[in-house]
Amino acid sequence: MPAPLLLDENLSPRLVNSLASQFPGSIHVRDAGLKGQSDEKIWSFAANKGLIITTKDDDFRSLSLLLGAPPKVIWLVVGNTSTAEILCILLANATAITAFIAEPTTALLTLRRP
């Protein structure tokens, strides 16, 4: 089973329910009590809980390149787009995400609009 995702503040909390069947146990930072917290606190929480940070925030990409995993980071380079399109991108890349999560040394997965 793939590791659950930790959806960053820049993503809709509604994605959690929509991703539940593909990525069970996923959570939004708001529901983890991390709304408005620093990137470092979110990073530490994800690392300690075995979560994959999923974000549009370049700061987490930078942390990933600097510190490596854990946690792993899925960086969505999609600009301003709808929650429905973000959901489509994540689901369309579910196999790649699962392979990324299982790969022990890769820390960053970049997903773009098709």
pLDDT at 114 over 90: no
Q: Could you please state the CATH topology (level 3) that the domain comprising 5-112 is classified under.
A: Rossmann fold (3.40.50)
Q: Over the stretch 4-23, which tens digit does the pLDDT of each residue have?
A: 999 999 999 999 999 999 99
Q: Which sequence spans correspond to the domains of the chain?
A: 5-112
Terminal CA-CA length for the chain: 26
CA-CA distance, 98 to 47, in Å (whole number)? Answer: 17
The pLDDT confidence band at residue 1, using thresholds 50, 70 and 90, is: low
User: Confidence class of residue 90 from pLDDT cuts 50, 70 and 90?
Assistant: very high
Q: Which three-class secondary structure state does DSSP give residue 18?
A: helix
pLDDT at 2 over 90: no
So what's the pLDDT on residue 113?
A: 84
What tens digit of pLDDT does each residue of 19-72 get?
Answer: 999 999 999 999 999 999 999 999 999 999 999 999 999 999 999 999 999 999
Residues across the chain: 114
Query: Phi-psi bin for 92: left (phi > 0), alpha (psi -120 to 50), beta?
Result: alpha
Q: What pLDDT is stored for residue 83 in this prediction?
A: 95
Q: Is 39 helix (H, G, I), strand (E, B) or coil?
A: helix
Q: How does DSSP assign 46-104, residue by residue?
A: HHHHT-EEEES-HHHHHHHHHH-SSSPEEEEE--S--HHHHHHHHHHTHHHHHHHHH-S
Task: Considering only residues 2 and 85, tell me which one the structure prediction assigns the higher pLDDT.
Answer: 85
Contact of 72 with 100, CB cutoff 8 Å: yes
